[in-house]
Amino acid sequence: MSDQSPYTPPTVWTWDSESGGQFANINRPIAGATHDKDLPTGRHPFQLYSLATPNGVKVTVMLEELLALGHEEAEYNAWLINIGEGDQFGSGFVGANPNSKIPALLDRSGEEPVRVFESASILFHLAEKFGAFLPESGPERTEVMNWVFWQMGSAPYLGGGFGHFYAYAPEKWEYPINRFAMEAKRQLDVLDQELAGKTFIAGDEYTIADMAIWPWYGQLVLGRLYSAAEFLDVESYKNVMRWAKEIDARPAVQRGRMVNRAFGESHTQLHERHDASDFETRTQDKLEAAAE
């Protein structure tokens, strides 16, 4: 039984104070820009504005996988958006994504620039554009899209639900942690049962469905999210663990995880990516050593 005091909601909710927790300084109930700030642009066809959260990693993995396949037209500039400092509320970023969430992509490969926001929309846009990681038609395509949208609908329970109350809330409360831990484990069981007879989540081919799901659930079972692997007993999900490790070993995934990463060990951080050589020369450990 929780010892949390009962809460009686007011008739009309008002924003009287910060909610507390790790991201209290950037949470607010209104949309729009808080300050004027143009977005930088580089020389490549795609301009990505992001941070290496799970949603950001989806897109950098996709771009690195496309380049690994030989799609040179998928070259991109990746610009760091520090959400802890409110970069997502700059006027330029709000113009790219009125929802003020990373990632946002500007596709300049055509006659007119096209903004693409929401990570699943970006994955779909790139898959369609390059004819890669998404079947062209039929049941196979539908199955991939089933799992992409499963992830988009499920991850808020994992991140905003379980992750928030387990790792980020100002206090540990039994009811929300239990509620969302139960849902997180149910989702892991869904994946585990599906992966029992398949190499990848939508079948035998690696697709954008895996790229959408892995940064959340794969990294969770690999111990990279919320320090919750033991709490959720992730080792019991044998098929998810096998799948997560197989994808983690892909070189493009390893590169994608580094892009726009501004936390963790310095050799894993590539704050901005403007050329493939940046992985060798501009990781944070290299920049720090050069500055000494």
- Nearest C-alpha neighbor of 173 from the set 24, 21, 26, 29: 21
Q: What is the pLDDT of residue 273?
A: 98
Handedness of CA 229, 234, 235, 240 (dihedral sign): negative
Side by side, which strands form the sheet with 104-107? 76-80, 46-50, 104-107, 114-117
Between the alpha carbon of residue 225 and those of residues 55, 200, 243, the distances in Å are: 13, 21, 17
**Ramachandran assignment for 86, one of left (phi > 0), alpha (psi -120 to 50 degrees), beta (any other):** left
Q: What residues contact residue 30 under an 8 Å CB cut-off, 6+ apart?
A: none
For residues 204 and 182, what is the distance between their CA atoms, to the nearest angstrom? 29
Q: What is the pLDDT of residue 27?
A: 85
Q: What is the pLDDT of residue 1?
A: 46
Q: What is the pLDDT of residue 198?
A: 96
pTM metric for this prediction: 0.95
Tens-digit pLDDT string for the chain (292 aa): 455 678 899 999 998 876 666 666 788 899 999 999 999 999 999 999 999 999 999 999 999 999 999 999 999 999 999 999 999 999 999 999 999 999 999 999 999 999 999 999 999 999 999 999 999 999 999 999 999 999 999 999 999 999 999 999 999 999 999 999 999 999 999 999 999 999 999 999 999 999 999 999 999 999 999 999 999 999 999 999 999 999 999 999 999 999 999 999 999 999 999 999 999 999 999 999 999 8
For residues 145 and 136, what is the distance between their CA atoms, to the nearest angstrom? 12
User: CA 9, 11, 13: angle at the middle one, nearest 5?
Assistant: 70
Q: What is the pLDDT of residue 5?
A: 72
Q: What is the pLDDT of residue 28?
A: 87
**Exposed, middle or buried by CB within 10 Å (0-12, 13-18, 19+), for 64?**
buried
